[in-house]
Amino acid sequence: MKFFVIAIVALTAACASAGSTLGSGVGDAYLEHPPYYAGVQMEDVRRDSSPIAHVPIAYQRGATQPAAFDPANSSGGPVNALLNEMNRYLDSLGLSTRTVVAAGTNLVPPDVRFGCIPENGVPGNECQARGDSALGRSGQQMQLTVGRPSQNWVASVSDAMTKSGTQRVLVITLEVGEYLLRQEGLAGAKVLELGTGNKARLPWLTSLETPVTVLQLTGALVDRTGKAIRIGAEGFHARRTRLSVSAVGGQELLSDDDVNAARTARRSDLPGEPLAWQVALRELVGRITAR
């Protein structure tokens, strides 16, 4: 029997590795529907045909809630396995060249954040009240932002780009976000817009008031000064909260079982039924690099 982890929504914590968005290169974007992207337009990015580097995809535990509520990245665990699979797939796309950036606690990469708008605009806070959009039919937005990297990270990645002969670097993160559920049609069908062309239909007995916990990929194309050029997000696996749990102020969170399920879930709506995470990763890379 699957174990359901439930957290009281009132508990909050600061977003991990959160840098200031001031001067990050891309202003905050408030988006009602996918595609979830912001920054320089794709056609303008495409004009620069110079090689692009990428750093290995990393997992950011505690991106939008206390880290203890997110699955751990333990050696041999499902998160670690998914990261390895994603990095092999990113390398195989051949759109960018893998580069190595020195590790360290003071090396903070650009922090792309996507999900519901936090109360008072403070990362880590609960989602703000929906107001007139409580029925989830129109007017509800989600926020896409990017925090500045640390100067030590900029120096390290600039050195790596010099060695690889590149001027821009792709930074992708696997993390947990919180998305808003919507209703469609006369019957009020409950749907979740996970990303570009990706809509999940959830059971009617799913809480509309409680955000849905989503496993997602966020990414940024960054120049040598650490400024973001273009940013985006693609979700690919959702963990709904049942009405009975929401009624007592709880939220059902992603578990290791969910991560294992996300590793093998396929997009039955697409030809060949490709892996959902591969579709999300390919879409993210293509729409950020315009390649």
Instruction: Say yes or no to pLDDT of 78 above 90.
Output: yes
Q: What is the pLDDT of residue 5?
A: 39
Contact of 182 with 191, CB cutoff 8 Å:
yes
Each residue's pLDDT tens digit, 132-185: 555 666 678 899 999 999 999 999 999 999 988 999 999 999 999 999 888 888
Percent of the chain with pLDDT over 90: 61
Q: Where residue 2 falls among pLDDT bands split at 50, 70, 90?
A: very low
Question: Lowest-confidence range among 9-13, 48-52, 63-67, 272-276?
Answer: 9-13
3-state secondary structure of 10: coil
Residue 94 burial (C-beta neighbours within 10 Å; 0-12, 13-18, 19+): exposed
Measured in degrees and rounded to the nearest 5, phi and psi for residue 285 equal: -60, -45
Amino acid at 273: E
User: Helix-strand-coil percent breakdown of the chain, rounded to 5?
Assistant: 25, 30, 45
Domain ranges in the chain are 6-289
3-state secondary structure of 171: strand
Instruction: Say yes or no to pLDDT of 21 above 90.
Output: no
Nearest to 51 by CA among 250, 221, 249, 195: 221
Task: Please give the Cα distance from 108 to 55 (Å, whole number).
Answer: 13
